[in-house]
Amino acid sequence: MSAADPGAWLVWLVMSPLIAAILVFLVPRIAFGIACANALCTTALALAVLDRVAEGPVRYALGGWGAPLGIDLYADPLTGVMLVGASFVLLATTFYAPGYLAQARIDALYWPLVLILQAALNALFLAADIFNIYVTLELLGLSAVGLVALADRTRAIAAALRYLLASLVASLAYLLGVAILYHSHGVLDLVALADSATGTPATWAALGLMTTGLAIKGALFPMHFWLPGAHSYAPAPVSALLSALVVKAPFYVLLRLWLGPFFDAPPEVGDLLGVLGVAAIIWGSVQALRQDRLKLLIAYSTVAQIGFLFLFFPLVKAHTIVQGITLLMLAHALAKAAMFLAAGNIIHYLGHDRIHDLHRVAKELPLTLAAFGIGGVCIIGLPPSGNFIAKWLLIEAAFDSGEWGWAVVVVTGSLLSAAYVFRVIGHAFTLDDVPEAGNRVARPMVWTAFLLSLVALTLGLFAAPLLEVISMPVAGTADAMGIFP
């Protein structure tokens, strides 16, 4: 295993954050330095992997054991895009966190937990079999719950507990599905399952259990009940990670399953998930409009944006849908992280996040408000953001498959998101007198939020090469079965 071996890159994407987590736990003094080194290293590795998988998928058997008892790592273009998105968001939060942690007096446990979260996330994206996905989902859930509870307020702990219970029930439903799939097909590997899984009753039972479990973890309406509390009471950098990355992980697994073993699922199931997605868009947007607190508004916006992702299922057989959904996951991750980081700055400056009292934020925190606004523009889906191209591809997919109703949903949902974004921006420009100046916001906090929002905004300009990579045939998915010409 040499440094030039792409298999080694996959291993280090998991090992680097794990080693860093242990180091920062033992030597908290140099936590920031280690976390920075790890963030830069994993970003470089993720970019290298994305570049490499454009030529074809990479598979690596850990320790040379191989399936079924060993653990395989597997990367294809979809993995590559997810890894790059995750490492960019983590890079931004790493530089953002020291300023925030110092003023919020949050435990030093932030760093080890966040690094374990990254290790779990990367391992999940790289997992080649459905049982390793279960293990990484659990690791991800446990570290995420720990991070929410760091806020150490009663409400945050209650939200963390609710999140943990929902997540555990969801994992068990998923695991029961794994048991059924393994019993009926004798394999756990995703690629092998895609070949062997046929429309037997056992497969459909597993489909129901696994999809339900992952939909709870992915906070699909009406199973989103745990999300607003957990995402809004958590510390700001944690909220950014949860909304940008952690809810995407179960959706990524759903994507893998539905492009693989469940590709021939009855269309009614896909339609049902699509209808729930529509309900999520409407409910999430309306709730976002009704919120009085900025972070809750952003959290409900996540509920709505997850609804867009679930439009994948009714359109699963359309030509451009995989590209559109992958790009939407990436674009939403970047934009939403920028919005939560900006909200963290506003809370730090004002000491609260009541939307009605956001006076003078535009004047006092121009870059932060710009970050929030640009993030909002991306969420709405205006060009040149990645969301614009992603939503365009969704609409194209809807027209291609002749079900134009879904296209109407995409447009309506975007209009609703415009409503709640402009509501915040309107309040930020009011000119009431502020009795005293707010707390100074550290420069790295302002700039990471702003730069992340710029990356999200300009993503659309780099979308063409990215989409070319995603449209590559992927072994074990529908592409390889000749569905997409």
Partner 1 sequence: MTISVLYALVGVALFCISLYSVIVGPDPLRKVLAINVMSSGVFLVLVSLARRAPGPGPDPVPHAMVITGIVVAVSATALAIVLIQRLHTAGAPTAAEDPGDDS
- Among 27, 40, 108, 172, indicate the residue that binds partner 1 (CB under 8 A): 172
List the helix and strand counts (H, then E) for the chain: 20, 2
User: Is residue 159 a contact point for partner 1 (CB under 8 A)?
Assistant: yes
User: Is residue 169 a contact point for partner 1 (CB under 8 A)?
Assistant: yes
- Among 52, 162, 319, 360, indicate the residue that binds partner 1 (CB under 8 A): 162
- Among 1, 3, 69, 437, indicate the residue that binds partner 1 (CB under 8 A): 69
In angstroms, the CA 166 to CA 151 distance is 20
What are the helix (H) ranges across 152-264? 154-185, 190-196, 201-217, 227-233, 236-241, 248-259
Tell me which residue of 170, 172, 122, 113 sits closest to 144, measured CA to CA. Answer: 113
Identify whether the C-beta of residue 61 lies closer than 8 Å to the C-beta of residue 212: no
Closer CB to partner 1, residue 123 or residue 178? Answer: 178
**266 cis-preceded (ω within 30 degrees of 0):** no
User: Is residue 188 a contact point for partner 1 (CB under 8 A)?
Assistant: yes
- Interacting residues with partner 1 between 115 and 144 (CB under 8 A): 131, 134-135, 138, 141-142
User: What tokens appear for 181 in the block?
Assistant: 């799939």
User: Is residue 292 a contact point for partner 1 (CB under 8 A)?
Assistant: yes
CA–CA distances in Å: residue 55 to residues 12, 198, 479: 20, 29, 15
Closer CB to partner 1, residue 11 or residue 67? Answer: 67
CA–CA distances in Å: residue 402 to residues 85, 116, 384, 406: 32, 44, 27, 10
Closer CB to partner 1, residue 2 or residue 154? Answer: 154
- Interacting residues with partner 1 between 229 and 288 (CB under 8 A): 229-230, 232, 287
Closer CB to partner 1, residue 37 or residue 135? Answer: 135
User: Is residue 352 a contact point for partner 1 (CB under 8 A)?
Assistant: no
- The site map against partner 1 for 18-57 (x = CB under 8 A) is ----------------------------------------
User: What tokens appear for 76 in the block?
Assistant: 């294809």
Residue type, 333: A
Residue numbers at the binding site for partner 1 (CB under 8 A) = 68-69, 131, 134-135, 138, 141-142, 145-146, 149, 154-155, 157-162, 164-165, 168-169, 171-172, 175-176, 178-180, 182-183, 186, 188, 225-230, 232, 287, 292-293, 296
